[in-house]
A and B are shown apart, each in its own frame.
Chain A
Amino acid sequence: MLSLIVFLPLVIATVVALVPGIRPAAARWVWVVISAAEVVLVGILWVGYEDPGPNKLAFDEQVPWIPGVNSSYHVGVDGLSLPLLAMTTVIFLAAAIYALKNSDRPRTQTALFLFLEGVSLGVFVSADLIVFFVFFDLSIVGMYFVIAGWGHGNAARSALKFFLYTFLGSLALLLGFIGLYVFSDPHTFDILELVASTPLKNDPVAGGVVLTAIVVGLAVKTPTVPFHTWLPPAHTDAPATGSAVLAGVLLKMGTYGFVRIAMPILPEAWQNWAWPIIIVGMVSVLYGALVALAQSNLKRMIAYTSVNHMGYIILALGAVGLVIDDTAQARSVAVTGAIVQMVSHGLITAALFLLAGLMQSRAQTYDMDSYGGLAAPAPRFAALFAIASFASLGLPGLSGFIAEFQIFAGSIAVAPIAVLALPGILITAALFLRALQRVFAGPTQGLSIGFADLHGRELWSIAPLLALSLLIGIVPQTILGVIEPASAVLVNIVGR
């Protein structure tokens, strides 16, 4: 089942890429149909999912691959990965519907995005470090071509920067993986076996070095301060669909790596390095929010809020490393918040980037001061943008609140210093409300005049993302029921 989910888009991508005779309209619809099928398949998975228990995966499949180094094609899901899997398929479907109007090489685009979808899903189901790494790197390659091929502005340069920077990060990651292999006994790349055997348990120095390699590799992808500067140009010059996938899905590979690999395999090292990680998280929260506040380019602003939002996740995960008696519940709440934040940020930021893309396609600029009073010609656009903004600033009733409330409640209970990061949600609120005011309020002027409102296809692409955010915000048990058992397991493993 999981292999079907991962390889269906990869196979179709190959077919679409190899058959030059496919007409543009057909190519566009192939993407929509396949990504819709993926949503359905993951939905079936979700319905049939039962919590597999500690250090086990549901729906797991294992086939020997490189037996010489004990690496196998091993995939499976648990409460940490299933929500991300679902979010990924939803974002790709939204991007597919959004791109239905695209006339720029639709066949290649469909092939590329289906390829990206397949490898992204592959990352989230991997239970083997080599498989994880292969999918992880392929996603970078795919995104490079998306930005370079369909971007605007300084796309080639931004794409190159993105590629080199994240590729360098993945090399650090590979070093860390090799370190895990070398120090494990018996040598293996299998994640579950590594978790069970806890290599480097009694070697704080080597454990610290291996963890540093892995953390740096993941921190580049996440990204956290100070490894974040590839993100704003990549987003600014990427096409809307590329930005949505980059922010919604690719960034999560970094944070997901923490909960899947770094924390459970190196619990002692994670505990030893909890404080630096907490501080990096808090700095990312405040720094990302403040720099975002100063932006006048809408897409850059949203990009920096991603740094802020990822910072919350790092903060919460760092707090989990502070193993203090009687705080297991608080740490579990923090992990749950972090996972919800991954899903929530994916949905909301994808919506924001798709909305921002409309400004580029209609008025060719993201400069907020070129607009004003946009709510008059484009009331639906304004309403969706306002909802997405409030979701992003953590308003209750939407998913961001469920994430941030738990992150803060859990983190503050374990590490009271986390209150210093609270102004992050305040600055985020200020910057989004300022943006709303600059773009939508006041007399209609500048590029707002004659700006066409959202029409059906655009609405159908963006509104469902926000509807899901609303669903999670009001009935969080829809998703928490899956996440909470897995969080408790992770907290136990890290607390070993």
Chain B
Amino acid sequence: MKKKSIKEESSCSRREFIKIGGAVAAGLQVGAVAGAGLAAGKDPSTHTGWQHLGDNTQFVDRTKLVREGPAYEIVGETLRPARQESAFGRQGLIMRDMWQYREMIQSFNAGEERQQGMGNRQSVTERETAPEVTGGVRPPGEASDFPPVEAFTEPMLSYYKARPDLYELDKVRIEEIMPKKRQDHKNYGEYYTLINAWSDSWSTHERISEPPEESDYKIGPRQRIGDPKPFKSPAHASRLIKKVAHHFGATMVGITTIEPDWCYNYDLRGSENRETYEVPKHWKYVIAFGVPHQWEQVNSNPNSGTSFDAYSRSSIAARRLETFIKSLGYPARRHSPMDGYDLIAVPYLVKSGLGEQGRHGIVITPETGSNFRAAFVTTNLEMEIDQPIDFGVKEFCEHCQICAEICPSGSISKDKSNEGMNTRGYRHWEINQTSCYNFWMQSMGGMGCRLCLIACPYSRKSNWVHSLARKLDTNDPSGLVDNGLTMMQKKLFDAPEAQEYLPPPDGRFANYRQPPEWLQVKNYLDIEVSDPTIGE
């Protein structure tokens, strides 16, 4: 009886031990899972990084995503882009006309002084434009003002008459934003010393100095390309080109054919002709590829980030690929951020199946979302081409609007869909390039913004949780995952409000996330800085 009791007691205590042990094991398992989660989140191999040959590059099998039909729906007369349509392109035209306007005002001032006996010497320009020569009437305003619409010459005169809204935005940039920017640099420039150095280091470049008929057939300044080496088939050519482009630093690669509408209608690089040109006959194929930004700094946009890291890397990849193709005897020309483009990036990325155009006007890929920069090589090497893809971006962007809500300049449309939008005959999301550019000019650090690029839910890291979300989203026709993910991003992930990214006093030069410690001046440099992000 006593023995039995001891046995029962022993059995009971063993049972209790197993039960408590199991509870402890469950606790430990929760701890282990939390630790594993931390490690998975921190893992640098999940950065959507450069020249990473692992499973976060080209991991999407696009054959399942191919859709029928053309890259864009044509909704009007299709046109090639003119220089003045681009906020960057018309900058040169604005400067030219502003310069003439200033000269005219100064010469009128000098003429008035001469008439008042305060001077009698004329400069060469004054001899041509002085009021006593031209009989002109003194224009209103000061030499430092943005000229009135009538003072512009063609094509800006007609353009501004047709787009008075853009005239106003350009005027604000020249008269208010630029002087303010200079003042901000004076006050806070040193706070951004490291990001500026980092940005500048990526922005070295060289220019193409000969027209396509020359430069595309040369390796270096003198060596002509040899006879073309035949490939076994276009599919073999395509496979090899994608493989080497990948090794040259391209994360994603797609191939398509040239579309004249999507080649700029001015400033063919290397050509003396600055206006319209025929698209060269040997530009038959376009190899499109993308390289993501360095992960830590891209999150600290708009004031502590830069475009130049990915610009530089995609440009270097383009140079390497151009040379590779030329070495096989085929003409080739690179189109890249550091060497300039003769074609528009976005539609070729869409047509080559790298991604879909989002609400923010740029392309979203299945691999890195919007976090990438594109470069291209045009050639006549015959290759198998890729088709546009559909992985649900159109539907996602229609209800997401995160990029539009966070955009400090309000440049991104908040319309329900892009119906009715018509860009030179093609339907796609449009942004206000000029107000976007105006914000670029206000931001500090490596200039630009990139907020829409990084706030896009598709641009998150490539770790298991975001990869799973992307996979579920791609394969869910009901839209439930779309809605769930958008809600989660808005409710779970903090980000400053759009206004906060503006310069003081309207904003506080906020960043989407804190810059990495190696881009914070206080950690490395012994200089006095004024931190604008903490407010007055």
Are both chains from one complex? no
Which residues of B pack against A, CB within 8 Å? Answer: none
Which residues of A pack against B, CB within 8 Å? Answer: none
